[in-house]
Amino acid sequence: METPKATKNGTEESGVLASVPAKAPVEDAAQGALQREGSGIWVRGRALGRWPVVLGLVFSDVALALLVWGVALMLHGLWGRGEPTFIGLASIVPNVAVWVGMRALLGLYPGYGLDAAEALRRQSYSVVATVAIIALFALALQVGDMFSRLLLGLVFLILLVAGPLVRYLAKRTLKRFGLWGKPVAVLGAGEAGRRLVRSLKEEWGLGFVPVAVFDFRLAPTGGVLEGVPYGGTVVDALEASRRHGVDTAIFAMPDVQREHLAKFVGRAGLAFRHVIVVPDLLGITNSAVAARDLGGIFGVEIKHNLLDPWALRAKRALDLLATAVGGILILPLLAVLAVLVLVESRGGIFYRDYRMGRDGQLFSCLKFRTMVPDAESELRRHLKEDDGLREEYLRYHKLRDDPRVTRLGRFLRKTSLDELPQLWNVLRGEMSLVGPRPYLPRESEEIGSSQEEVVRVPPGITGPWQVGGRSHASFGERVRMDAYYVRNWSVWLDLVLLARTVKALTLDRAAY
């Protein structure tokens, strides 16, 4: 294939770029795309840069820290540990400065490009480092009476819980005013580019806002890709970067020959400050990868955290602690639901069904009964009589309007309260709070090649399928979500999924 060459009109004249149209329409398209899609983000971003976002996040962190220290000092006084002194109140200012400084050092201003688990990890580290630094200074300056262990403990716990929540609310507020996020150019209009654009839109917290897609030989149908307009060729992307101040480009071209991709990436590095390349490693990479320099040869190390025995122990400890505390708190609710199930229809309170656990071992999964007795016979009868129901069940392994479900059962399923008895399975070590979906033995064949990976860990009461797809995701999509979870597991990811589960149960009523 002939090596592409740049011409005076800004397009490539031969080889892989032979089909590119003349510059005028392409340039007009790129200009129009950026103006249409980026009228808010582009103009504001160019004029103000990232400082409005940074200032907004700093303001929210300072306000939170002042409030936390005020509440901690008040509680400190109420518990008879001494009234706040002027010196003690004045010391809050440097403490807040340490808090903000640690978050800045950890890259949380603005924190673009950090996924939820990584952002939570850095925020937690910032709290630990802040409290440790304050304790060391208090000890060195012999002012330990102003910062008792009780006071520091209160500050630590409140910041640890409230910090991520306040950061989320601050980002939501900035997003509402069109300030959160930085514009990025997506280079690649094929299927990989489509998946990338869709992912960036769904995970808005990353802060990468795709405003235009570019490709050297492929224009998306209708001139848009997942709602993002086509801006022309890769060369046009470089011109757009200089003209509009874009500093980030993401290459999603897994099918391009290596020499061409290397040439385009090299060129992009002259125009874009940040260049990200999506490698052709679908199904292999995870968030625990690490770059390795193998004597001048680039390598990628793939880590599977769940193969580490200490990681599994940490996960088990988190399960036991959260289940013990949460189980005690919701015990009255469990009793009320058990009585309601018993009163509504004849039959047992609980439903037991065999599911595949860790390493494929079967276990008895516990739920509140939500169906009429002899539900399996009823299912076979309905599927035999109704072709539409049979097709829906084959696709989702669920029925939206399942005729076997009771009235209370519909409520329990909609709110996922029917799964609360599985806390017993967690205590027994058969399940985890977060993990892959507990699959039926008959679904083993349909899981396919991912089964060995999915059953590597205990199934979870909640997981990525619960907060990502809920009941709208097809069976195949749920399997892919579970495989992704296993490859990317971390304590931080579990905490993120638990928080998102609460949000999904309170705001999203899509389960059935």
pLDDT of residue 370: 85
pLDDT of 319-357, one tens digit each? Answer: 999 899 888 989 999 999 999 988 887 778 888 889 999
Residue 100: pLDDT above 90?
A: yes
> How many other CB atoms sit within 10 Å of the CB of residue 484?
18
Say if CB 450 and CB 365 are below 8 A apart: no
Structure-model confidence comparison of residues 43 and 372, the more confident one: 372
Average pLDDT, the chain: 78
What number is the average pLDDT over the span 114-129? 92
Domains of the chain: 15-36+180-280 (3.40.50.720), 51-176 (no CATH), 309-370+405-507 (no CATH)
Positive or negative: CA dihedral 376, 382, 385, 388:
negative
Q: Which residues contact 239 (CB under 8 A, 6 or more apart)?
A: 10, 27, 30
- The three-state secondary structure class of 187 is strand
Taking alpha carbons only, the member of 70, 48, 234 closest to residue 151 is 70
pLDDT of residue 76: 67
Say if CB 463 and CB 436 are below 8 A apart: yes
Least confident of 40-44, 56-60, 127-131, 153-157: 40-44
H helix or E strand, kind and range, residue 311: helix 309-329
What number is the average pLDDT over the span 129-152? 74
What number is the average pLDDT over the span 434-454? 85
What number is the average pLDDT over the span 10-14? 35
pLDDT band at 21 (very low <50, low <70, confident <90, very high): very low
Distance, in Å, from the CA atom of 241 to the CA atom of 177, rounded to the nearest integer, reads 24
pLDDT of residue 173: 94
Range ranked top by mean pLDDT from 198-212, 301-315, 368-382, 466-480 = 198-212
pLDDT of residue 336: 93
Say if CB 256 and CB 217 are below 8 A apart: no
pLDDT of residue 266: 83
pLDDT of 385-435, one tens digit each? Answer: 777 777 777 776 666 667 778 888 888 888 888 889 999 999 999 999 999
Residue 255: pLDDT above 70?
A: yes
- The three-state secondary structure class of 420 is helix
Length of the chain counted residue by residue: 512
Q: Give 356-381 as a 3 state SS string.
A: ECHHHCEEEEEEECCECCCHHHHHHH
What percentage of the chain reaches a pLDDT higher than 70? 78
Structure-model confidence comparison of residues 378 and 60, the more confident one: 60
pLDDT of residue 287: 59
* Structure-block tokens of residue 230: 């086509």
pLDDT of residue 44: 41
Centroid of chain to Cα 450 = 21
pLDDT of residue 63: 94
- The three-state secondary structure class of 453 is helix
* Structure-block tokens of residue 323: 């289940």
Considering only the C-alpha atoms of the chain, give the largest distance between any 2 of them, rounded to a whole number of Å: 81
pLDDT of 34-92, one tens digit each? Answer: 444 443 444 444 444 678 899 999 999 999 998 888 887 777 666 655 555 544 556 67
pLDDT of residue 86: 47
Residue 452: pLDDT above 50?
A: yes
